[in-house]
Amino acid sequence: MEKAKNLPRWLIAIPLLLFVLFLLGSDGVLGAAPATHFSSGESCRRAVALTFDDGPNPPYTQRLLDILRANDATATFFVVGEAALAHPEVLRQERDSGMAVGLHSYGHSAALSTMDGGEFRADLDRAEAAIEGILGYKPAFYRAPYGHTSETMLRELRRAGYSSVGWDVDSDDWEEASADAIAQKVLAEVHPGAIVLLHDGGLGGGNPDRSATVKALPAIIAGLRERGYEFLTVPQILDPEVCGGSRR
The helix/strand/coil state of 135 is: helix
Q: Answer positive or negative: Cα dihedral of 145, 151, 156, 162.
A: positive
List the beta bridge partners of residue 165.
Answer: 38
Measure the N-to-C terminal CA separation of the chain; round to a whole number of Å. Answer: 50
Name the active-site residue from 87, 104, 108, 199: 199
Does the annotation count 209 as an active-site position?
Answer: no
C-alpha of 19 from chain center: 33
Say which DSSP state 13 is in.
H
- 3, with CB counted inside 10 A (0-12, 13-18, 19+), is exposed
Name the active-site residue from 37, 53, 116, 148: 53
Does the annotation count 199 as an active-site position?
Answer: yes
Residue numbers annotated as active site = 53, 199
